[in-house]
Amino acid sequence: MEMDYFRQRLLPDAAHTRQDRMVAYRAMHLAAELLLARSIGVILNAGYSHACDRREVEQIAERTSTPLYLVEFQISPEAAIERSRRRRAQHPGLDLTDERVRTLVLEFPYFRGGLLVDGQAPADETLARIQNYLCSGTPLAPGLWPEAGL
């Protein structure tokens, strides 16, 4: 599930503000919880730079007795800016200027307690690392991720 998809479906003309993203996170988390309660696995694709959003994911995992695995992607500011420029026509994030993207990349509160991958590495290499991590059977310990970077 991708947060931007939920935001665009729920608020198609939104400016992609924090308030808009909060609505999308809530909807995505509700859908995830409903699926997890039925033992259907879920992948959540979002930035999770705010502790309250991370805390909500952890609470969902606890309520549904689902192990929580975290894969973080790290890329250079230059690569992030280039990707942002390429998707601007489909992504109305008015606040995502080149300088804002650079700041977000440099200041992102990485947890580093799950799997940190190079977002510029070849896809097959990245997928193999993620599969190995998920098969390791070592989910996140409760209570640590929500407070990361604070």
pLDDT in tens, 74-114: 999 999 999 989 887 776 666 788 999 999 999 998 899 99
pTM of the model as a whole = 0.86
Query: How do the residues of the chain divide into helix, strand and coil, expressed in percent and rounded to 5?
Result: 50, 5, 40
Which option is the CATH number for 3-147: 1.10.287.130, 3.30.70.1560, 3.40.50.300, 3.40.190.80? Answer: 3.40.50.300
Residue spans per domain, the chain: 3-147
pLDDT of amino acid 56: 96
Whether the per-residue pLDDT at 149 is higher than 70: the answer is no
Whether the per-residue pLDDT at 126 is higher than 80: the answer is yes
